Amino acid sequence: MRITWLLEVADQLWGGVKVALENANWLHRRGHQVTVVSRSGPPAWMRIECAFQKVPDFRAENLPDGDVIVGTFWTTVPWAAAGGPQKGVPVHFCQGYEGDNPEFAPHRARIEAVYQLPGVRHVTISPHLTTLLRERFGRQPREVVYAIDHGVHFSGPARAPGQPLRVGLVGPYSVAWKDLPTGYAACRLLQQAGQQLVLVRASNTPPAPGETDCGLPIEWHQQLPPAQMGDFYRSLDVMLCTSRGAEEGFFLPAVEAMACGVPTVLTDIPCFREHERRIGHDRYALFVPPQDPAAMAEAILVAGTLPAVRQALREGGVELAAQYHPDRHGEALEQAFVDFVRTTPKTNAMTRPTTTNCNAPTTMTTATSPNAATTDAETAATLTQVSATLRELADALAGKGSATGAARVLRAASGLTPDDIALLQAAAAAQLAIGEAATALQLYDDLAARVGDTAAAHAGRGEALHALGRWSEAATAFTEAMQLGDRSADAHNRLGVALYQCGDDKAARSNFETAVVLQPGHPDATANLTAIGGA
C-alpha cells in the first residue's frame, strides 16, 4: 500500500509524534510505500526510515498519491478528508480526544465537527477512546493495541530502595490535564514527613515557573532521546503518573516504566484501569484518586519502600508491558488500513475542495505542542475550505433523497464554520426534519446565542421543543417568535397546537381562529378548530 502520514510538526519530541513516526517506520519495513508529510523538518531524535517530505501546507497538490492518508490530530484530519480519492482513504489515528482538553476549549465546536466528517475512518488506541467515539459521535472505530519498544524498555536487576528515594515524573508541566503540580505537592508532603527523595523529571519542554521554585531537589532530563528513556526509567525507585481524567489517551511512559521493572503509582482514570483487561488483574500498579496529593504521597512511600509490594508491582508491570508489542500493534494497524481500502470505493471518497482561499503560511511558529504550529487563521481557512465541500456534498445527498445523510453533513459543515449563521440555521432545520429534535434544539440554542433574539431562532427552538414533548416551553418559544415579528398564520397555528397540548383550550382556539382570519382556509388551523369543536 501507499500510506501517507500527516504531522503538523515532526521535529518536536511528543509521545503522539513518536508513535506516528514509529508506525511509519514499521510499515516501511513491512514493505509498504510510506511517506511522512510535515510542516517541519525531520526529527533529530530518531531516524526516519521511510520517505519524508516537508511542505508549507497540506493542500492536495503538496501530497503524494496514495491508498491511505492518515491525520494524526484534529487539525490534520480535515486535510486528509479533503485530499480526494487519489490521495487515499482518509483515516483519523486517534490517540486522545482533543475536545475535552481545556487548552482547546475555544475550538471545541470545530473539533466535534471534525470527528463527524463523513467518509473518514477512525483508529483508536484504547477502549475508552473507542467508546467515546461510538457514543458521542456515532463512529465505529477500529481499536489497535498500543506498543512500546522492548529493545529500549526492559527490566534490569531489581533495585533496593534508594536514599534519597528516586521518584520519576514525566511530561510537560504546562499541560493542565497531566496535573504534574499534584505530583509535586505529593513529594513535598513526603519531604515534610521526613522522607528523603529526589524528583527525577523528564520533559520535552523547559522547566515551567512553577517548577523552578517548588522547594524540592530535582534532577532534570530535558529532551531525552527515546533510545535513552529505558536507562532513565531503570534509575527510578518509583514512577508516578498524575493525569487527572479521560483526556489522557494512553500515556506510554507508564507502561514503558513498567517494562523496565519500576514500581508504578497511577491515578485511577480510564486509560490506566483499562490495562486490567489485558492480564485479568490490577497488580501492575498502586491506584490513587486523581488530584489527591496525600494519597499519592502514601502510595509513593508504600511502592518505594516495602520490598514485598515493590516485587509484586515489578512482576505485574513486566507482565502487563509484555502485552504491548510493536509487531502486534503494527500488524493490527496494517490490517485496519487494508480493510479500509478494501471496503471504501474510490468513487465514494470526498472530493477536493474547489475553492482556493487557503493560503497557509510557509513559516513555522514556535510551538509548545504538535498543534501550535498551525495558526488560528490557517486552521480557519482550512476548515472553511472543507465546509464548502461538505455543503456541496449535502446538496448532492439531498438531491438523491438522502435527507439523513444531508443533515449529518450539514451539521459537520456548520461545526467547521460556526460563524456562518445561514448554514447553522440550515443544519438545525435539517436535523429537525429527520426527527433528531434534541440535536436540532442544541443547534437552535447555538443560533440564538450567536444572533440574539430573532423570530427564526425562537420559532426553530419551539419546533424542536414541541417535537420533544416539552409543550409549555414550546409555547413560550412560539410566543417569543411572534413578539419578534413572526405573526403569520403558520405561527398562530403552531402556538395554538402547543397551547392545546398544555391544556389551554381557549387560547388555542383563539390562535387557530386568528390563523384562519390571516389565511382563509388554512388547512391545519381549520382542521384543528374542527378537532376542538371551534369551527
CATH number of the structural domain spanning residue 32: 3.40.50.2000
Q: Picking from 148-157, 228-237, 279-288, 303-312, which range would have the lowest pLDDT averaged per residue?
A: 148-157
Tell me: do 139 and 175 sit in the same domain: no
Report the percent of the chain where pLDDT is more than 70: 93
Predicted confidence band at 378 (pLDDT cuts at 50, 70, 90)?
low
- Note whether residue 8 is domain-resident: yes
Contact 89, 341 (CB under 8 A): yes
Residue 100 near residue 271 (C-beta atoms within 8 A) = no
The whole-number pLDDT of residue 163 equals 82
Last residue of a domain, one of 323, 338, 361: 323
What CA–CA distance (Å, rounded) separates 275 from 270? 9
Average pLDDT over residues 387-416: 80
> 192 pLDDT exceeds 60?
yes
Q: Tell me if 399 is assigned to some domain.
A: no
- Binning pLDDT at 50, 70 and 90, where does residue 379 land? low
Q: 129 with 260, same domain?
A: no
pLDDT tens, position by position, 73-126: 988 998 998 888 899 999 999 988 888 877 778 888 888 888 988 889 999 988
The answer on 189 and 95 residing in a single domain is no
Is the pTM for the entire model greater than 0.75? no
Average pLDDT, the chain: 86
Assign 20 to helix, strand or coil. Answer: helix
CA distances from 4 to 32, 76, 265, 337, 347 (A): 10, 12, 37, 11, 19
Please indicate, yes or no, whether residues 70 and 169 belong to a single structural domain of this protein: no
Q: Is the pLDDT confidence value at 206 over 70? A: yes
pLDDT at 209 over 50: yes
More confident residue, 376 or 77: 77
Q: Is the pLDDT of residue 287 over 60?
A: yes
Strands (E) in 135-209, as ranges, are 142-143, 165-170, 197-203
The verdict on residue 435 lying in a domain is: no
Confidence of residue 438 (pLDDT cuts 50, 70, 90): confident
Q: Which residues contact residue 260 at a Cβ distance below 8 angstroms, ignoring those fewer than 6 apart?
A: 153, 154, 155, 156, 230, 233, 234
User: Cell numbers at residue 282, please?
Assistant: 490490577
Residue type, 224: L
1: pLDDT strictly greater than 80:
yes
Confidence of residue 300 (pLDDT cuts 50, 70, 90): very high
Please report whether residue 43 resides in a domain: yes
Mean pLDDT of 37-43: 93
The 10 Å Cβ neighbour count of residue 295 is 19
pLDDT at residue 390 greater than cutoff 90:
no
**Domain-terminating residue out of 323, 339, 365:** 323
Average pLDDT of the residues in 517-533: 85
Could you tell me if residue 530 is inside a domain?
no
Mean pLDDT calculated for residue range 451-469: 86
pLDDT above 60: residue 361:
no
Q: Are residues 45 and 78 in the same domain?
A: yes
Q: Are residues 98 and 190 in the same domain?
A: no
Which residue range(s) make up the domain with 182?
165-323
pLDDT value at 345 more than 80: no
Under the banding of pLDDT at 50, 70 and 90, the label for residue 375 is low
Number of structural domains found in the chain: 2
- Among 144-153, 276-285, 525-534, the minimum mean pLDDT is found in 525-534
Least confident of 362-366, 457-461, 467-471: 362-366
* pLDDT tens digits, one per residue of 140-174: 999 998 888 888 999 988 888 778 999 999 988 88
Confidence of residue 251 (pLDDT cuts 50, 70, 90): confident
State yes or no: pLDDT of 46 exceeds 70.
yes
Listed as own residue / partner, the contacts of 331-336 with beta carbons closer than 8 Å and 24 or more positions apart are 332/144, 332/145, 333/23, 333/27, 333/123, 333/144, 334/27, 334/30, 334/32, 336/91, 336/121, 336/123, 336/142, 336/144
354 pLDDT tier (thresholds 50, 70, 90): very low
Domain presence at residue 426: no
263 and 123 fall within a common domain = no
One domain for residues 13 and 127: yes
Q: Are residues 180 and 301 in the same domain?
A: yes
Residues 258 and 339 in one domain: no
Q: Which residues pair with 222 in a beta bridge?
A: 203
Residues 118 and 184 in one domain: no
How much is the pLDDT for 346? 60
Q: Does the pLDDT at position 34 exceed 50? A: yes
Give residue 352's pLDDT.
39
- Residue 251 contacts residue 320 (beta carbons within 8 Å): no
Among 232-236, 313-317, 377-381, the minimum mean pLDDT is found in 377-381
Q: Is-contact 349 295, C-beta < 8 A?
A: no
60 within some domain: yes
Same domain, 100 and 180: no
Is 313 part of a structural domain of the chain?
yes
Percent of the chain with pLDDT over 90: 43
21: confidence class by pLDDT, cuts 50, 70, 90: very high
